[in-house]
Amino acid sequence: MAEKNKSNGIKSWPEDDRPREKLLKRGAGALSNSELLAILLRTGVQGVSAIDLARKLLDKFGTFRNMSHTDMREWKEFKGLGPAKIAQMQAALEIGRRFREDEVLSVKQKIASAQEIVNIVMPQMRDLKTEVFKVVYLNSNNRIIDISNAAIGTVNQAMPIVREIIHAALQKFAAAIICVHNHPSANIAPSPEDKKFTQELSAAGKLMGIKVLDHIIIGDGNFFSFADSSRLEMEI
């Protein structure tokens, strides 16, 4: 597609070549990454169309995954990208990450392994810059009832969440839970705090009749499972 100048912007393109019209006529799957981004951007700036600006973004960040976890300062070099447009793109990327979780919840997927949980949460958690704790609540058949955030911060800060996790499990009538959190360093080795948290969560679950099936630590493309390592009820 030829480079467009101010007088030859997207509105002057043949209708079938315009990203928005192309999407409505042929479906979102027919669009390239830059065309999808151009729809979110809506407009470009003088001498640069929305699709050209989208291409510049992809040239810099490479993938949507890279784009979704960036510091705001990295966007400053792009003329015409204000807070509103950046917010729109970040919101769209977050919707994409959450889609997998929503899809799983809609069919109440039965969980049989740590890998199945990792497949669900890895896309959303692998690039986070702070530790986030999620809890997967399961019914008596190990089918997912809900997945929700329990805390944001370091494991030291998150220690008081044990009581809240068990309380939420009781409210949701969950028979079992799996705790998941990420290590922003990508080092998946459990820390002493991780081990203590796991022990306290398991003890609280036993007391209240809630099975703690696993505590999973997410890195960048890999994970550690206390259950798979036979360390769920380790002595600290």
Q: What is the pLDDT of residue 178?
A: 96
Query: Are 114 and 179 in a shared domain?
Result: yes
Residue 172 lies in a domain: yes
Q: What is the pLDDT of residues 145-200, one digit of tens each?
A: 988 888 766 555 545 588 889 999 999 999 999 999 999 888 999 999 899 889 99
Say if residue 93 is in the same domain as residue 128: no
Nearest residue to 37 via CA among 97, 88, 98:
88
Q: Which of 58, 76, 97 is the last residue in one of the domains?
A: 97
Task: For residue 154, tell me if it sits in a domain.
Answer: yes
Last residue of a domain, one of 64, 97, 130: 97
Confidence of residue 10 (pLDDT cuts 50, 70, 90): low
The CATH number given to whatever domain includes residue 145 is: 3.40.140.10
Both 93 and 115 in one domain: the answer is no
Same domain, 178 and 200: yes
234 occurs within a structural domain: no
Q: What are the tokens at 232?
A: 């769920």
Q: Quick check: 90 and 40 in contact, CB under 8 A?
A: no
SS3 212: strand
With respect to residue 233, please indicate whether it lies within any of the assigned structural domains: no
With beta carbons less than 8 A apart as the criterion, state whether 165 and 213 touch.
no
Nearest CA among 144, 148, 137, 126 for reference residue 178: 137
Instruction: Encode pLDDT of 93-116 as tens digits.
Output: 778 777 766 666 655 678 999 999
pLDDT of residue 7: 43
CB 103 within 8 A of CB 123: no
- Pick the more confident residue, 81 or 224: 224
Supply the pTM of this predicted model.
Answer: 0.62
Domain boundary among 76, 97, 118: 97
Residue 1 lies in a domain: no
**Alpha carbons 80 and 174: distance in angstroms, whole number:** 49
- Is residue 49 a part of any domain in this protein? yes
CA-nearest of 58, 57, 96 to 78 is 57
Return d(Cα 219, Cα 122) in angstroms, integer.
8
Q: 220: which residues sit within 8 A by CB, 6+ positions away?
A: 126, 127, 186
Counting the structural domains of the chain, the total is: 2
Asked if 211 and 163 sit in the same domain, the reply is: yes
In a domain, 102, yes or no: no
User: What is the predicted pLDDT for the residue at 4?
Assistant: 42
The percent of residues in the chain predicted with pLDDT above 90, rounded, is: 29
Distance CA(155)–CA(199), nearest Å, equals: 13
Structural domain range at position 121: 109-225
